[in-house]
Structure formats: structure tokens, C-alpha cells
A and B are shown apart, each in its own frame.
Chain A
Amino acid sequence: MEGQTDSSDVFSRRAFIIAAGQAVLLSVLAGRLAWLQIAEAGKYKTLAEDNRINMRIIAPRRGYVHDRTGVLLAGSRQNFRLMITPEHAEDITPVLDKIKKLIAVDERDIKRVQKEAKKSPSYTSILVKDNLTWDEVSVIEVNIPTLPGISIEMGEIRDYPFGPMTAHLLGYVGAVNREEVDKQSGDPVLKVPDFKIGKTGLEKAYESHLRGLAGRAEIEVNVGGRQLREVNRREPVEGDRLTLSIDSELQQFVYSRLSQERSAAAVILDVHTGEIYAAASFPAFDPNDFTEGIEINLWERLNNDRAYPLNNKVFGGQYPPGSTFKMMTAMAGLEAGAISAGRTVFCPGHFYVGKKRFHCWKAGGHGNMNVKEAIAQSCDTFFYKIASEIGIDKIAETSRKFGLGSKFGTNMPEEKAGLIPDQVWKRKRFPKDKKWHAGETVVNAIGQGYILTTPLQLAVMTARLVNGGKAIKPWMVAYENERPVSAPLPPPMKVKQQHLDLVKDGMVRVVMPGGTAVASQIEEEVWQMGGKTGTSQVKAITASERAAGSSFTQENLPWHLRHHALFVGFAPHASPRYAAAVIVEHGIGGSKAAAPIARDILREVQKLNVAARKPAPHTKPVEVKS
């Protein structure tokens, strides 16, 4: 009995103790519950928003660009981007701090995000860091529940597999700037953070085709920005796929060949259709460097380089054509009746206009020249004479028929019109010296003076000389998706075929014994070319330099003052298919520097038989032959 009472008392006491403990614990739990639900309710409510529907613009994939055989020239690669949406996080600073502990983020980027968050509406997503590695993506994803407002987007960024080789042709893409947004205020896709649009080259010219149409997704979003389900989706439409007339294998060859010089450009096209097979400008840059915003040092280097790597010299480089212009003077003379097949002009090595003496490059003179020989040997005097007889306006008129002096409408933003002067032009241009002087005629007649041409224009000019009188226009895009881009039929030029034949024959002789470029003839007979050398002065030769004779050479001058070297050519000369124009900036002599390049590329294009590679729309890229 006693024992029982004893244990009863003990039990009661102890039971009470335990009960008290349980009461305390229950209260603690209730208190904690109250704490979570009342005191911290604000915090958790933000984290657990009721079904938020977020509108998200889905960026369309930019259209791919292929060469004529289907090789990919501009495509895309994956880019993982870390985004933060301030609206989903009460305060982004601790979130950013957490991010810093997880992956490497530049302090400047953090500051940028903070600034941006203050400026933009809180529902916009701000880029924190992109081009995340797979490891960084994993680390972030695993921690996402504690990173409110954070999300990882998989984007695609523009990728140029060939880099500098196609840099000027394709151009590059970059972030949209203020003015561009204003100009195209309608398109919502521009509001997608860091959307890229074409800035130069084909990317810009064909922006509306390549961009595609933005899609839209309505997403139910919850804690920490975790996207739970899509309520609605309108798919984006991929941009048009372009198939170009460019042949990447040829382009590779041309670019490599040019890279042996310090600054050069070349273009090669079809004489009958005008399609451009290759167009390269050297030095170039890597357009991939521009996609995400170019690094400032690189930008400065590119800008300060005297070889002007950022310039598309094929479309936008304007040079005095030098002797490559002589065919125009010849055609003008033939059309005007001043020249006939048999007419000769005597070249003593100089020519007088009034009292002023103009020199022929061959100090001793060429003797009697007919038009074919004058072209073959590039006699200046012959053309001085003819030009004086027909006048600048006639020359200008003829040149314009061959495409000089105006743009072709390629839409390439870098395309320049060149300049073909005439009297009307001079009046407007030099109000203080309106009259056209006879001396100016002869200088312009040999491609110096005011005349400016681009390599593209020179190639077109050459094509029009040898294709039987068709005013072809250059073009690059063969297909937009499946649709062939039809080139309009070239209208016939109003010039006589026999005149064209004479000039062509002269050009064939340029590369034969006696001609100025004989050293550069293509070995294989079936592929042999015709053409014309050109040397355009950058700095006039002074009298003292002339007097110094052979001891003065262009090599004495600093590089940027040396003559440019040019060459225009066509092949095969029997029935021409291809026309090319080459310029080697400050290359001194057309025959020395430019002709060998033209020889090599005209030979290569025939060897590859590029014209036979018909472009067809391709949906999958073809393996590049290495």
C-alpha cells in the first residue's frame, strides 16, 4: 500500500512535470506558428504569391544564313543567361549577394543590375550574367528556391563559324540602342532583354527577314520565380533562312590569299547573272566578338588600325580606279566614233594640254598604239588624246552605263556610290571653280582625279564588258527559305557588240606577251583570263621625285602614301563566266601586287567550277570540307 501511494505521488508529480513540459512545447509551437504566419507573413506572402500570370515575350530564333552549297555561315549557339526579376524578390541585394557566393560575378555587373533595377519597371527581367557554364547553371538551379526572382534562361546567340572570313559580308549583330527602338516602336521583341539586331552588312540589310516574329507565353509563376506551367503560348516564328550565292570554299581561298597582304579586297561574280561568288575584305575582325558587346580595347585597336579592318572595302571602299578605268574611256571613244579599230595614236611619253605636260608612265613613250595595244600596254597618252577629243561628259555617260557612279541597290549599308564626275557635277561641287578644265579631262580619263570606284563596281563593269552587253546587277541572296529570289532580267546596254569585242580583245592581250600583266597569266590554257592592271596614285608624284628617276621608287614612301594596286579580270577568256576585281591598298603596282591575286582566284573559281554548284535551299547545314 505504502509503496503504491508512494509511487502514486511520485507519478503524479512527475506526470505533472511532463505535462507542464508538453504544455510549454505546445505553446512554443503555437508561438512559432504565430511568428511564421503573423510576423513573417509579409515575407512569406511575397514568396508565395498567389497564381501570378507572367507575360513573357519569347525571342524568335534569328534566321540562319547558308552559302550556296548549304554550309552554315551564320547560325546560333546556346547561351545560358542568369536573369533577375526585381518584382519577385522584395529586395534584390541579398539575392545578388547569394549569387556572388555561388558563382563568379563581376562587381560592375552587380552595380549595373542595381542601377537598372531602379530605372526599369520591376516586372522586367534584368540580365545578371550570361554565357554561363554548365556548372554555373547547375549551381544556380539547385539553389533556386532560395533565390527569389532568379531564373535561368536558355538563349541562343548568333554564331559565325567562319569568323573573319565572312565578317564584312554578313556583318554582325548587337544590342538594340535607344534610337533603333524608337524607330521601330511597334515590335515588342525589341523589349526582350538584350535582344540583338543586325548592325552592319547582310545582318542589317536583311534584318526584317532574319529577325522572325516574337512569340508569347503566359506563365504561372510562384516561389522564387519558379515557373510552374504555361497557361498559354504563341510560338515564335524563326527568321527566314537565307541561301546566299556565296561559295564558302571559294571565299575561304580568296580570304586566305588576301591575308598575305596588309590591306586588300577582292570580289568575284558571275558575268551573266551577277551573282557574287566571293567577296572578301582584309584585314577583317571576328564578328563573334561583337555579338555580346565588343571589348573596349579591341574596339580601339580595330579603329586605330591604318588598314581599316572595320571597313567593307568591297562594297564601301572608294578608290581612284587608275588604269582599270581606261576601258571606259575606250568604250566612250568607240561609241562616239573617235576611235575605230584601226586608228592609232602616237605616244612620245607625254601629252600636252595647252602648256601643261601630262606624262605617260613609260618615259620614252609607246610609239604608235591602236586601242587594243593601248589597253594591253596601258598607254596613258592614247587615252589622254581620246579624252580630249570627246570630253568628260561623254566619258561619264558611258561609265554610268557600265554601273559606275551609283549604287546597285544591294541594300548593304556599306555600299557606296563612287563618283563619276561631269561638268554638271563640278559646277555643283565646286561653286568657286565651276568650270571644267581640259586638264581635268585627261587626268580623269586614266582613272585619276575625281573618279572614285568601289571594287564591286569595277567587277560589275568588267562583267558588263564581256557578257555580251547585258547590264547585270550584283546580288548575294539566292533563296529566302524555299523561295528563290528572282533577279530581274538585265536590260541590254545600248552599246555596240563590236566595240565590246575590241575592248575585250585588248584586255586579253594584257595578260599575253607584251601586256602589262603577262607575268600573271594562268597556266592552264582553258582557264586563261583577260583583264586590266591599274595603279592609282595616293599622293601625286612631285617633280623632284620624277627627276630622281629610277632611284625613286614608291617603296621610299611610307606605306600609307604608296600607290594602290588594282586589277580587274575575267575568265575563261574565250567565253567568260567569271569577273573579278582586286585591290591591294598601297600595293604600288597593279601588275606586281594585284594581278597575281586575280590570277589565283580566277584560277581557283574555275577549278572548283563554282558556277556549276547550283544553290538550293537547305534545311540542314552541310559539313564543311576542311
Chain B
Amino acid sequence: MIMLRSENQLFYKLSQMNWVQVGFIWLVAIVGFLAMYSAGGGSFSPWAERQIPRFIFAFFIMLAVAVVDIKIWHRLAYPFYGVCILMLVAVDVFGHIGMGAQRWLNLGIIRIQPSELMKIALVLALARYFHGGSVENWKHIRYLLIPIGMIGLPFLLVAVQPDLGTGGMLLMSGVAMFFLAGVPLWMFLVSGGAALAALPVAWSMLHDYQKQRVLTFMNPESDPLGAGYHIIQSKIALGSGGIFGKGFLEGTQSRLNFLPEKQTDFVFTMWTEETGLLGGAALLFFFGGVIFSGLWMALRTRTPFAQMLIYGLVVNFSLYALINVAMVMGLIPVVGIPLPLISYGGTAMLALMVGFGLVQSAYIHRDTKLPRS
């Protein structure tokens, strides 16, 4: 009887998921599989054969997270945040150095990037915090000090690695959460002004290669063998796709190994070189689908926690997509942010799917009431 009910409950919950968003997520993932296949030179190895199982595994994780009651996630928000902070500290202390930056924790069988999990944890924690107050509170700075700290701490831990890209994303996620919570607009303006004023100081604290990245962004031609090279090649590959692309697997730039990092940061370039404007626009449309179905879901829920959780994670997802695509098109400096669900890599995908799981959990349990704090 009980089992039957919980089974029923399981299926019931699953049926309550927003399958529209799940559909869009799968569409994006499939593009990713195709891209990995092409990046492997028309073969499942070495990337597609790893990415596909990973995604399927992550999808089941997502389902698992989704069917867990939102109350539990609400309760686990702060602890989860704390664990992530600890992991970040561990990375800074013991971290495995890869790709010139200390970002990984080698846990024996797997390596994880705590900063990816942090993005989820931050949204979760901020959602819980803001859920515990009202819009009125947010007009007073003293109530904002804690969330500022909640953002600032991981930002510093990440920036020290150094990983300015992820740090920036944390900041932006945090700002979005503040915005969604109803923090008065004038505070944004003021802090924006203060940030501008602090720019020179921030600039001097940058590592050389980071400064170089910004300068190169201004003028890619000045560093054509370094980051500038990536951008120049990316634009060329992109542009040469035309409307219909060169054809799947026919990207000469990528095929001729001209495009660097085509399975990670520059996968969008490779995709649009091969599928042209049509393929590129389609992918952007799928991203849009994930985002706007998320908006729809957020508006359907009742509690601030659920609302901010859903949309905060959606914003987080959109940041990945927007930043990466803007980067490969030469609109912003190279920051090493992967294309979500497509770029080859385990932790980011897992974290994102956990996030989507949380989103679905909030949606499935949209009518659940949550404690205030």
C-alpha cells in the first residue's frame, strides 16, 4: 500500500514536471552530442562517448533531485552552501593545478570543480535568505550585509584560484538574486558607481594574464598568438559558416585543427561553422526555450524561495550561455566559461542538472508552503 502510494507519488510528481523545459534541455544536450561527435572528427571518441553517458547519468540525478520535496532543499540550503565553501577552501589549499589554475579537487575516483557547485549553492542560499524577509527589509542596508557576505566570500575564494570568469558569474548571479528579491533600484546604482570607482584598484589586482586578456579583447590583433588568436579564429570560423553552414562534420577550420578548444569553450563556433546561421539560431532558440519556460515556471510558484530559486538558477544558466556565445563572437574578453550542457566537461554539466532538478522540484511542489526563515 505504502509502496504503491509512493510509486504513484513518484509518477505523479514526474508528471507534474515541466516537460517543456525538459524538452528544451534535451534539445540542447542533443546538439551537444552532435558537436562532440564532430569535434572527435566524426567519431564518438574521445568526447561523445563520454559526454552522452554523463548526461544521461546527470539527467537521472536531475529527476532524483526533482522528486525530493522542496522543503528538504529549503532546509539544506545553508548546509549545502557551507559544504561548498569548505570545498572551495580545500581547493585553494590543496587544489590540483590544471589548465594553469587551481580549480579542481581530486577525490580519488573523480575530480570536481567546487566552483560550479558553488554557483548552485549560492542561488539556493540566497533564495532561502531572501525568502525569510520581506521587500521592506531590503530597503535597509543592515539586512543586506549578510547576503553581501554570502556572495563576497565565495567570490574571493574563487578569484584567488584565480578564476575571474566564475567569480564574475557568482557576482552576477548574486546581483540578479538581489534584483529579484526587490532590493531598491537606487542601491544598484550606487553600488554600480562605487564599483566603477573601484575599477582602477581592481585592475591593479589583476594577474598579468588577466590584464592581457582584457587588453587583447580590446584589440585581438595585438595578441594573435595568445587569446587574440582564439578570437580571431573563432570569428573566422563562425563567419565562414554562412546561412546553411559548411555541413555537419565539414568544418574545415575545426577539422583542420585550426580552431582551438573546439570541444570546450569554442564549441559554439564549431557548431555554427558546420550548421550555419540556421544551426546557430536554432541553438540560441533552444537556450531561449530553457530560459523562458523557466520564467513561466517561476511565475507559477507561490513562495519567494521557489520563485527566486527557479529564476535564479535559470539566470545562472543563461549567464553561461550568453557569456560563452558573446565571447566566441568577440563581443567580450575571453573568460573561459563553457557553453552549458554542450561543452565537454563533467562538473559543470552535473551542477547544472542538479540546478535544473532543483528548479523542477520547486515547480512540482509549487503549492507547498515553506517556513519563513
Q: Which residues of A are interface residues toward B (Cβ below 8 A)? A: 3-4, 6-8, 10-12, 14-19, 22-23, 25-26, 29-30, 32-34, 36-38, 40-41, 43-45, 47-48, 50-51, 142-146, 220, 222-223, 226, 228
Contacts and interface: CB of A to CB of B under 8 A. Distances in A.
B303 interface: yes
A11 B182 contact: yes
A33 B221 CA distance: 20
Contact of B176 (A18, A33, A34): A18
A145 B232 contact: yes
**What are the 8 A-B residue pairs with the smallest beta carbon separation, nearest first?**
A44-B239, A48-B240, A10-B182, A3-B134, A36-B239, A44-B240, A37-B277, A19-B295
Given A36-B235, A37-B242, A41-B242, A22 B318 contact: yes
9 contacts: A7-B135, A15-B299, A26-B291, A29-B322, A33-B281, A36-B235, A47-B240, A146-B221, A222-B256
A47 B181 contact: no
Contacts of A26: 284, 287-288, 291, 322
A6 B329 CA distance: 40
Contacts of B38: none
Q: Is the interface of B mostly helix, strand, loop or mixed?
A: helix
A142 B225 contact: yes
A41 B240 contact: yes
B180 A48 contact: no
Contact of B322 (A8, A22, A43, A142): A22
A142 to B, nearest CB: 5
Contacts of A30: 280-281, 284
Contacts of A45: 239-240, 242
Q: How large is the interface on B (under 10, 10 to 19, 20 to 34, 35 or more residues)?
A: 35 or more
B253 A223 contact: yes
A41 B182 CA distance: 44
Contacts, number: 150
B80 interface: no
A16 B295 CA distance: 8
Given A11-B311, A220-B256, 4 more contacts: A8-B307, A26-B284, A29-B325, A37-B277
Given A11-B182, A15-B298, A44-B235, A222 B252 contact: yes
A512 B272 CA distance: 97
B243 interface: yes
Contacts of B287: 26
B278 to A, nearest CB: 9
A228 B291 contact: no
A17 B134 CA distance: 20
B204 to A, nearest CB: 27
Contacts of A223: 233, 236, 253, 258
Given A6-B134, A145-B232, A222-B256, A15 B295 contact: yes
B291 A19 contact: yes
A454 B308 CA distance: 105
Contact of A33 (B135, B229, B272, B303): B272
Interface in B249-302: 252-253, 256, 258, 272, 276-277, 280-281, 284, 287-288, 291-292, 295, 298-299, 302
A158 B292 CA distance: 71
Contact of A29 (B180, B246, B295, B329): B329
A37 B238 contact: yes
B304 interface: yes
A220 B179 CA distance: 54
B135 A3 contact: yes
A4 B253 CA distance: 54
B193 interface: no
B326 A29 contact: yes
Contacts of A142: 224-225
A224 to B, nearest CB: 9
B306 to A, nearest CB: 10
Contacts of B118: none
B315 interface: yes
Nearest to B272: A33
Which of A3, A48, A143: most chain B CB closer than 10 A?
A48
Interface string B333-344: 000000000000
